[in-house]
Amino acid sequence: MHKQLPKEFYPLMQELQAVDFVLLELTLYLDTHPNDQEAVQQFNQFAQVRQQLKYQVEQIYGPLLQYGNSFSGFPWNWNDGPWPWQI
């Protein structure tokens, strides 16, 4: 079943995925260059952007992550989707 979401959902998710990609790349870089202060600052800036985007998405569309990484609305809304493969 494909869940239709408002068109506003997709740009937010695309931005969140782009920020996740930057954080992943910076993590890999910092694993081999731990003393690069500029890279650490960039990582922290993008981590803050990600936290804000995640909060924004979850306030409108529900939790993105499970196991205590996201809060649930009431009633329990983890199963509301969309699941990653539905986007």
pLDDT digits (tens, 9 = 90+) for 26-81: 999 999 999 999 999 999 999 999 999 999 988 888 888 776 666 656 666 666 66
Residue 50 lies in a domain: yes
Can you tell me which residue has the tokens 């992550």? 65
Residue 31 lies in a domain: yes
Q: What is the pLDDT, as a whole number, of residue 1?
A: 55
Residue 37 lies in a domain: yes
Mean of pLDDT values over 10-30? 93
Please, where are the H alpha helices in the chain? 9-32, 37-61
Residue 27 lies in a domain: yes
Full domain range(s) for residue 38: 15-61
Residue 80 lies in a domain: no
Residue 3 lies in a domain: no
Q: End-to-end CA distance of the chain, in Å?
A: 11
Would you say residue 82 has pLDDT above 70? no
Q: What is the pLDDT, as a whole number, of residue 64?
A: 80
The number of distinct structural domains making up the chain is: 1
Residue 45 lies in a domain: yes
Residue 26: Cβ-neighbour burial (10 angstroms; 0-12, 13-18, 19+): buried
Q: Residue 36 and residue 7: Cα distance in Å, rounded?
A: 39
